[in-house]
Structure 1
Amino acid sequence: MMVNFQSSSSEISMAWNQFITDGISQNRAVAPEIMESWQRCYKAGVNPYGGKACRVLSLTELKNLLAKRKDIIDIAQPFMLKLYEFVRGSGFIVMLTDERGYIMENFGDEDIMEKAQELYFTKGADWTEESVGTNAIGTAVVLKKPMQISGAEHYCLKHQAWTCSASPIFNKRGEMIAILDMSGPLNGTHLHTLGMVVASVEAIMDQMELREKNRELMIANNRLVDIFKTMSEGVMIINEYGIIVRVNPVAEQIFGNPAHDLVGKGIKQILGRDAQGIEKSIGRQESFNDLEVMVDTADGRIHCLSSGVPIEDNGISTGAVIMVRPMEKVQKLVNRFSGAQAVFHFKDVIGKSQEKW
């Protein structure tokens, strides 16, 4: 259902003519945000009949901009395409700009895209108020909030056959990083157009947050992997069925087997009867420390100390992290820190014996 803007458009047109003629307007048909924008355009010396010469980035500048903003462009593109599918064939264009108002991406019907080039609806074009007068993108740059500007609300006459709806995109720090806009012929203005743009922006920001969380998880995981690989103890990660799913390099050395030979084996195959105590602790979701175990290795069975921590997901055990230290290494460590070294000299021997010649 299209909205009938005829009466309000006529009042706004009269207000625009009055403003352009004498620089003032008392017509209440014009929203305060629009009037303030007109005043900014007037002070900036924007030509109401043609606008200033719209600045367009050079190919090098555009290339640098697109490279710098690749992340937000990649996230926004699927949502822009979905938005465009809703308005395909209606003469509307979907655009993404940076926070300054420079167009970075656009989608639209081929015929309307050719026509839009005449109005600089092209990549690299500057759509600030200072460049092209009052418009949804430029005014959103200033006010940092969703805007819909239609018909005579545009400061420049050549844009008054259009309607545009724009909404800023913010990052998690609340900084405006881009603007999504949908522009088309004035007779296609719909009450829900701005709502569609705002909904798309919310979806884009949700996707940005999800991607950021995934990135943080990846960084955290990489750090954990680094710690896992550099630990001085042998470490095994088992699943809820007691199957080894990962081992660190030290565990490979202790067991005398590469990871691909150990992964997939049951903990019982490595620890034999001693695995029962570990399995009971893990089943009760309890940690255990310095449990003495005999470990099967490529060179035979060795005496070790083992500690473990269960892995839980919403209170459900999903496995455990098990650490193994050969007893020999533990004893060496104790001796090193306690200074227990048996060093004897002949003069230290105290005793008496009868001389025999």
Structure 2
Amino acid sequence: MPETNYYDNLPTKLYGQPLTQTIDKVKKRQNILVSGVPGAGRETFLKMLMNNLQSAIKTRIVVWDMGGKQSVDSLPKSNEETLLIMNKLFLLKSRAAFLEKLHAIQLQSPNLTVVALTNHTGITNPEGYFAKTHPFFQSICHILPFSEDDTQIMIDANRSYYGWSIAKKYYKKIYRLTGGVARLIKYVCSEITDNNLSPEDYDRFMQNPAILFELKILYALLMNESKEHLKQLRIINTKGKIRSMLLQRYFKQQTNIQETDLKRTLTPQEQTLFNYLLANKGQLISVDKIASLIAMSDDNFSLWKIYKLISRLKPKLKPTYALETVRGKGYRLMTNNKTTP
């Protein structure tokens, strides 16, 4: 492995558009929010941004990790041009009040510019990053899973840095396996090299703790985000199918029959629906969400099939659960209070 920094080894074009956009906004003294899909390289982007900023601007840079206790009062009092970079802004619970205080400071000191990095919620819930009386961020840029071309660029960079022997014929298959998620690409390439695997060795990949950890996070997005948001995040494609084959397998694994008598009576699709309803018990789930959930693993689904699926599931859930119909809106899973203490 070379002694050079890993981030110096990555081609700038890998994050070219968000890097260019962020640096351009900083030069114009505009606040920008950088929102990244889990595993897509938000931390890598931050390191590359720091490297590029040091040569692009002559400004003092202050970096805050919002996982710690940060206070706007701790900002250096100076007329010097200052760039505040806030990482992991999603961890801050009272964001609106915090950003309002920062806005007040900027009104008094226009030499302060802010770049904030957060998770996918900057894309799915941009209003969650408003100050109390002001939008605060003038723009937002996205860190998303790579395209097939950018996946190949990343594999080449990792081959060069780590000395991994990844055959060119595997590139397209690695992209299909990972869906372009940067961390999955890195872990899959490492497994292929270290254990002499091929991209078809799905079971071996699914035993890797680091890969499973990333899949668990992405699975949570599948369960909790709308179909449109999942498309925005590049987790599913325009047809509503999961882009990563590893995530597809994990998705199906999570809907497998468990030990309980109830689940032993359910078909795989009924399990998928029941697991989702159980994870969101008491919440109203739209027919559209149920349809998109089933469509992820069924190429031949239809609304008629959805209604038939629900009608079959309802009696199987009794007497422990009741699947309530909310006309014109969707369904809600409730504990049947008549049969539980």
Structure number with the higher helix fraction is 2
Q: TM-score, normalised by structure 2?
A: 0.21
Structure number with the higher strand fraction is 1
Q: Which has the higher contact order (CA 8 A, sep 6+)?
A: 2
- When Rg is computed on C-alpha atoms for both structures, the one with the higher figure is 1
